[in-house]
Amino acid sequence: MVKGFARLAESLDDLALDIPSAKTLFQYIVPKAISERWLDASFTKSSCEDGEGQSEEKRLRRYKEEVVTIIHEYFLSDDIPELIRSLEDLGLPEFNPIFLKKLVTLALDRKNREKEMASVLLSALHIEIFSTEDIVNGFVMLLESAEDTALDILDASTELALFLARAVIDDVLAPLNLDEIASKLSPNCSGSETIRMARSLITARHAGERLLRCWGGGTGWAVEDAKDKIMKLLEEYESGGVVAEACQCIRDLGMPFFNHEVVKKALVMAMEKKNDRMLDLLQVCFDEGLITINQMSKGFTRVKDGLDDLALDIPNAKDKFSFYMEYAQKKGWLLTSFGSSAMEAPPIATAS
């Protein structure tokens, strides 16, 4: 009962857009609920307080208005750095979970382009300014309101499961975070079912490749352009280019969350050209912090997931991959547990 009233209190600003008297009616209902002992008298402290409570309410309302505008501009411009600057200018990191909820809710009601953009943005935000706790709390808020969202968006539960699974694939969340989110939800609520659906998506065969293309992959951002640039810089390096120039080209892409593509393409090119010079480039990228262990793991996993297909054109692909994997582990690019049965689970299924 308390949770239901609290959720209603949190959404009064939105309700007031369609029901002008929503706040007045709510303030009338709460005392009655207390008198009937549905609620404890302390409930009024959090929902109907004046002073600081009203000030906080106004601040939150203003924040929501601001971020809706920021998100709409992002959907039009596809400019991640500008969005991050706008959020930093607001200076309200305590509301990061609310931003996530708004972002995904707005994307749910739009096309695949915006859904893809939202997932890509979450990767960037997690690297730049959002903590894992922010992401977890944002998804908890989304799933708590999933039943209301489903009234307007019929396939909301399925789409939210895709967002959750994609967040795991992108290393925004770890699989254990799904347990954490589930623990904060009512056991039999629709959100719990959404999490079960997300787990099924993650553990499916070739989950990474499928989930990274669940909304068409790259329709909302510069993925295809980035892939072309990565291929060109690797070809130039492979044919005698300078490692420093190749590293600078990777930096200029401005997509650290997409560096797993560099790893994947470098490994495949090394197999195809029978030239292990690419390993030198990956070594420098790792030493300079340009490509992290997570991005290395994701790139290696993507190659591992596609080995059967690669072997059709490169007969010794599996042997070469084993050599590259052992080399990377020796050099510290990959964890020594990579490739073990434990790493076959969802975390490393973060293929793309």
Q: For position 16, what pLDDT does the model report?
A: 75
264 is a domain residue: yes
Q: Same domain, yes or no, for 96 and 167?
A: yes
Q: Which CATH number is 185's domain given? A: 1.25.40.180
Q: Same domain, yes or no, for 75 and 207?
A: yes
Report yes or no on whether pTM surpasses 0.85.
no
**CB hemisphere CA count around 351 (13 angstroms):** 24
For residue 66, what are its two tokens?
């601001």
Instruction: Quick: pLDDT tens for 6-58.
Output: 777 777 777 777 787 777 787 778 777 787 778 777 666 555 554 455 577 78
Q: Same domain, yes or no, for 205 and 85?
A: yes
Cα 105 to Cα 152: distance, rounded to the nearest angstrom? 11
Q: What is the mean pLDDT of residues 291-297?
A: 86
Q: Nearest Cα to 238, choosing from 205, 215, 271?
A: 271
Q: Same domain, yes or no, for 99 and 127?
A: yes
Q: Same domain, yes or no, for 128 and 31?
A: no
Q: Same domain, yes or no, for 3 and 135?
A: no
For residue 90, what are its two tokens?
């607001």
Q: Same domain, yes or no, for 317 and 287?
A: yes
- Please give the share of the chain, as a percent, with pLDDT higher than 70: 90
Amino acid occupying residue 199: R
Q: For position 273, what pLDDT does the model report?
A: 83
Alpha carbon dihedral 68, 69, 72, 78, in 10-degree steps, equals -120
Q: For position 309, what pLDDT does the model report?
A: 86
Instruction: Quick: pLDDT tens for 224-274.
Output: 677 888 999 999 998 888 999 999 999 888 777 778 889 999 999 999 887
Q: What is the mean pLDDT of residues 176-185?
A: 93
- Cβ(211)–Cβ(162) below 8 Å: yes
Instruction: Quick: pLDDT tens for 208-235.
Output: 778 877 887 544 345 667 788 899 999 9
296 is a domain residue: yes
Q: Which residues span the domain enclosing 31?
A: 1-49
Instruction: Quick: pLDDT tens for 83-131.
Output: 988 999 999 999 999 999 999 999 998 988 899 899 989 988 987 789 9
Q: Same domain, yes or no, for 199 and 295?
A: no
Q: How many domains does the chain have?
A: 3
Q: Nearest Cα to 67, choosing from 52, 86, 85, 48?
A: 86
Q: For position 252, what pLDDT does the model report?
A: 86
